[in-house]
Amino acid sequence: MLMTHLPDTGSASHSVPANSPAGAAWQRQGKLWSSLKEVCELLRIPAPSSASGTDEELQFQHMQFKTGQRIHTIGQPFDMLYIVNSGFLKTVLIDEFGSEQVLSFPMKGDIFGVDGIHGKHYTSEAVALSNCDIILVPFKAFSALGKTHAELESAIYGVMSRELVREQAMISALASLSAEARVARFLVFLSQRFTEMGYSGTQFNLRMTRHEIGNYLGLTLETVSRTFSALNAIGLVAVDQRSIVIHDLQALKTLRRLPPSRSRAKQLAAKALAKQQLAGA
């Protein structure tokens, strides 16, 4: 039930590959090791101006996870940061009442596991929503790099600060936006993210369920479904199950509240009627 498929790669998981780089580093599963430069590109931070030759040896291990597998669990001792090379995930918190809270949907170029630094244990768990290729970054080795490369250090701070700003935007959205606006902005977020990854920003498939979206946005799955239908009805998007086509990105960005629709007009009419009856009685 727990499906705790955790690395059983033994101890030397963050050292230089024993049997050398150049050769058969590509396998059935894809790439197995990445250089620091590749990791920096993935994170969209400037790569260090490789001064010392020894750096080039430093490689970060990849690991593959299948849909449903957990990358780390709550309470597990922290030692790694994780960077998504491909695939889709969710990170989940369990609150004091035992209910789940989806915190993010990491995808290519995203980092996760940062919550474990403070407290030395992960406070969230990460679950693969599709087959994933994840780069393992031993935190100790990574922060040690900061000492030799000043630019890299400030970049690490920058990555953490970026996460903070992202979460602040989420707080603001949860605190002040209507259900429609939250769902619309979620689509905008996905669109931008897919564009960044080099895919179509106007046509894509959702990798998560309505339940997961709703949980993430502080809504029920029914509200998410209804809102998708409503956005579909006014032509801003075409939604069919998991498939999304975005027709008016700009409108989605600035949407605050849906225009009163047919069904709403009906509701209002019904209420007015009831009132007349009350007054008449």
Partner DNA sequence: CGTTAGCTTGAATACCTTCAAAGTAGGTGG
Partner DNA sequence: CCACCTACTTTGAAGGTATTCAAGCTAACG
The residue ranges that bind a copy of itself (CB under 8 A) are 93, 95-97, 99, 101, 103, 114-119, 123-124, 143, 146-147, 150, 153-154, 156-165, 167-172, 174-176, 215-218, 254, 256, 274, 277-278, 280-281
Which residue's CB is nearer to DNA, number 83 or number 208? 208
CB distance 94 to 100 below 8 Å: yes
Distance of closest approach, residue 208 Cβ to DNA, in angstroms:
7
CA–CA distances in Å: residue 121 to residues 75, 76, 94, 154, 170 = 5, 5, 14, 24, 24
Does the CA dihedral 144-76-135-23 come out positive or negative?
Answer: positive
Pick out residues in 254-273 that bind DNA (CB under 7 A).
257, 263-264, 267-268, 271
Residue 266 neighbours by CB distance under 10 Å:
10
Distance of closest approach, residue 51 Cβ to a copy of itself, in angstroms:
16
CB distance 102 to 50 below 8 Å: no
225 binds, among a copy of itself, DNA, none (CB under 5 to 8 A by kind): DNA
CB distance 35 to 151 below 8 Å: no
Which residue's CB is nearer to DNA, number 50 or number 263? 263
209 binds, among a copy of itself, DNA, none (CB under 5 to 8 A by kind): DNA
Which residue's CB is nearer to a copy of itself, number 110 or number 115? 115
Two tokens at 244?
């999304």
223 binds, among DNA, a copy of itself, none (CB under 5 to 8 A by kind): DNA
Sheet containing 203-205: give its strands across: 203-205, 243-246, 237-240
Which residue's CB is nearer to DNA, number 16 or number 272? 272
- Give the residue, chosen from 35, 131, 225, 253, that forms a contact with DNA under the rule CB under 7 A: 225
CA distance 213 to 215: 5
In terms of phi and psi (left: phi > 0; alpha: psi -120 to 50; beta: otherwise), the region of 138 is beta
CA distance 167 to 247: 27
Per-residue binder mask for DNA (CB under 7 A), 159-198, x = binder: -------------------xxx------------------
Binding site for DNA (CB under 7 A): 178-180, 206, 209-211, 214, 218-223, 225-226, 228-229, 239-242, 257, 263-264, 267-268, 271
